[in-house]
Amino acid sequence: MTPNIAPAEPRQTPGLAPIPPVATRPIVEVKSVSKTYAGGVEALSGISLDFPEGRLTTLLGPSGCGKTTLLKIIAGLIPASGGQVFVDGREVKGPGPERAFVFQDFALMPWASVIRNVAFGLELRGIAHGEREAIAERHIARVGLKGFERKYPHELSGGMRQRVGLARALAVDAKVVLMDEPFSAVDEQTRRKFQEELLELVANEGKSFIFVTHSIEEAVYVSDRIALLSRRPSRVSAIIEPKIVRGGDPEKIRRDSAYLDVVEDIWQQLKHYLD
């Protein structure tokens, strides 16, 4: 094990490289959450996990291990069977204004234009038409879709639709952005571009991001912290903090030996879950 990899409970582990002070406060705390679905499928069994504020934390684990389940429990979209989730110190009872979700399948309304989709969260909060369109316009421009405000989802490519979903989540100005495999439906070039943009968002927005991905490289590249989940019923098998030095040439980072080592380490751990 490299010094980057620590057992599940980082706070109980002396010798762990300390997280910078700004991140010490957990914005989301998951406390022994378990979930058994109606059919008897036990998806999560007593997961405990902290998400540092202002950082991007990734949930990484084998397919079907319960990443989406955990994310939706944090979002308040499905109830946990046991345990508690705290966001910003308050217990989660349902969806809340301090959390916004980016859906894997975009979940755009096909009958609504881009601007209406982006402004939807604001519309639901009763913000006046002019004001919410102005806010939405800003976020549309921000995700690089200026000029597409009056288009409809079916006129956009998959990558553009995903940007609409992201703009919608940003428009409600939530503290915590939950993203379920947001880049899985786009090609590799777009994906890398999105990763850069995501890093920029994390650096500039002061928001906390919880990110789900299948890709080890992506997780290591974008995350401040990675929670490695075991197979169903899942627990946290390791917490990894890649500590990539940002701001350099992306190509160089991807060839950097520290980056490659972390990728390799995670691969070694996940390999056990292959049959």
Ligand X SMILES: Nc1ncnc2c1ncn2[C@@H]1O[C@H](COP(=O)(O)OP(=O)(O)OP(=O)(O)O)[C@@H](O)[C@H]1O
Q: Determine, following the binding rule CB under 6 A, whether residue 66 of this chain makes contact with ligand X.
A: yes
Torsion of CA 212, 209, 105, 116, to 10 degrees: 180
Assess 96 for contact with another protein (CB under 8 A). Answer: yes
Half-sphere exposure of 232 (CA within 13 A, CB side): 16
Distances (CA, A) of 222 to 9, 31, 102, 229, 259: 22, 25, 16, 18, 11
Q: 244 by DSSP, 3-state: which?
A: coil
- Minimum CB separation of residue 39 from Mg ion in Å reads 17
- Please confirm whether the linkage preceding 182 is cis (ω < 30° from 0): no
121: contact with another protein by CB under 8 A:
yes
**Shortest Å, Cβ 124 to another protein:** 5
* Cα separations in angstroms, 136 against 132, 166, 170, 251: 6, 11, 9, 33
List the one residue from 30, 33, 60, 65 that touches ligand X (CB under 6 A): 65
Residue 63 interaction partner, one of ligand X, Mg ion, another protein, none, beta carbon < 5-8 Å per kind: ligand X
Nearest CB to ligand X, comparing residues 4 and 69 = 69
If one asks whether residue 132 binds ligand X (CB under 6 A), the answer comes out as no
Which residue, 68 or 215, is less far from Mg ion as judged by CB? 68
Q: Tell me how long the chain is.
A: 275
Count the Cβ atoms, other than its own, within 10 Å of residue 223: 25
CA distance 15 to 4: 11
Q: Please, what is the minimum distance in Å from the beta carbon of residue 163 to ligand X?
A: 21
Give the per-residue contact string, 32-61, with ligand X (x = CB under 6 A; - = no). -----x-x-x-x------------------
Q: Which does 99 bind (CB under 5 to 8 A by kind): ligand X, another protein, Mg ion, none?
A: another protein
CB 266 within 8 A of CB 230: no
Output the CA angle 63-3-236, nearest 5 degrees: 30
Considering the complex, state which of residue 69 and residue 195 has its C-beta at the smaller distance from another protein.
69
Taking CB under 8 A as the rule, does residue 101 contact another protein? yes
**Stretch 228-257 residues interacting with ligand X (CB under 6 A):** 232
Candidates 66-74, 116-124, 127-135, 219-227; binding stretch for ligand X (CB under 6 A): 66-74
Q: Are 38 and 71 in contact (CB under 8 A)?
A: no
Q: Does 100 engage in binding with another protein (CB under 8 A)?
A: yes
Under the rule (CB under 6 A), what is the footprint of ligand X? 37, 39, 41, 43, 63-69, 214, 232
Under the rule (CB under 8 A), what is the footprint of another protein? 72, 75-77, 95-97, 99-101, 103, 105, 107, 109-113, 120-121, 123-125, 151-155, 168, 172
